[in-house]
Amino acid sequence: MQHTKQVLKIKIHQPSAHYRIPFSYQRRFTYPIPPYSTIKGLICNLMGIRDEGDERLTKIKGLSLAIYGRYESLIKEYIWFRNLSKNSHVDKFHSVTNRTIDNIPQHPGGQMPVTVDVLQDVNLIIYIYHPEENFLKSIKKAFEDPSERLSPIHLGRSEDWLVFQEIKSVELIQKSAMSIKYFAWIPAKEYVDKNFIDGDYDNFFDGLNGNIFRLPTFYKITDTNQRVFEEYVTVKLYEGESFKKMKFYVDSNENIPVIFTILRGNKDARNSG
């Protein structure tokens, strides 16, 4: 008997996108695919989830996500970042009241040249699973009819608009696989959704080529209105090489083994990273 599991599949196209790697400033580096927190933010935006007072956020914390993607090329954008603090203005103009240099009026404050890495022609496949079938249906409805959205629909920067190419429920079929032809986040054993794994996942993860990252998932807003991430998952960034054959739940139409990461649900997620 062939085992199957039903999940939500979202295909997205973006003409350009930047998924910023934290702590990159004067040159802003990008991940090749969005991290989990970015996809979670998209879901919350579409569903109209504003804050922790919304009971649906508790259910969002039970999501499992799998993220796959490709891009055509990477370009560098050169922009100015402005700082409107008093000290930055004085450093540039040498006076609080002055706004001219060489008798030419300029913008107030200081400025710094910044390079931003931008992906071009991005195609993503996002798989979403939740143990409560009705809640998964409500997520699907929000993608199909985002009338409750909190802001214009984007992924990455606010200007990184997107097109939904496919929104549908699909059945994953259990079978063997030995490659994924996309960039993908592959979770460590503490964070993988074991409902979709049949085999020695520890050896699979240990033998997989890829750099290890600690990706944020959930954050708190401090009293000073700062966003502070407090939960992380450990993953490898997989770049499309083959691996030892193993059984997974596979999307047969895409020939993708779908490896889900649970966003929350174990004590290790609360490590500071």
145 within a domain of the structure (yes/no): yes
**Which of the four pLDDT bands, split at 50, 70 and 90, describes residue 271?**
low
- Count of residues in the chain: 273
Residue with the bigger pLDDT between 94 and 192: it is: 192
93 within a domain of the structure (yes/no): no
pLDDT at 268: 55
CA distances from 235 to 36, 104, 184, 248 (A): 11, 51, 9, 18
pLDDT at 270: 58
124 within a domain of the structure (yes/no): yes
Closest residue by Cα to residue 269 from 63, 55, 32: 63
List pLDDT tens digits, range 26-56: 789 999 999 999 999 999 999 999 887 788 9
262 within a domain of the structure (yes/no): yes
- Rounded-to-integer distance, Cα 273 and Cα 268, Å: 10
89 within a domain of the structure (yes/no): no
Q: Report, as an integer, the average pLDDT of 123-127.
A: 98
pLDDT at 31: 96
Q: Is the dihedral of CA 93, 98, 103, 104 positive or negative?
A: positive
SS3 168: strand
- pLDDT of 115 > 70? The answer is yes
Name the average pLDDT for the chain: 90
- Rounded-to-integer distance, Cα 119 and Cα 22, Å: 17
- Rounded-to-integer distance, Cα 137 and Cα 8, Å: 8
Q: For the ranges 12-16, 31-35, 269-273, which has the lowest average pLDDT?
A: 269-273
147 within a domain of the structure (yes/no): yes
Number of domains in the chain: 1
Query: Among 7-16, 72-81, 191-200, which range has the highest average pLDDT?
Result: 7-16
**Where residue 50 sits, what CATH number does that domain have?**
3.30.70
162 within a domain of the structure (yes/no): yes
User: pTM, whole model, 2 decimals?
Assistant: 0.88
170 within a domain of the structure (yes/no): yes
Residue 128 sits in which domain range? 4-71+120-208+235-270
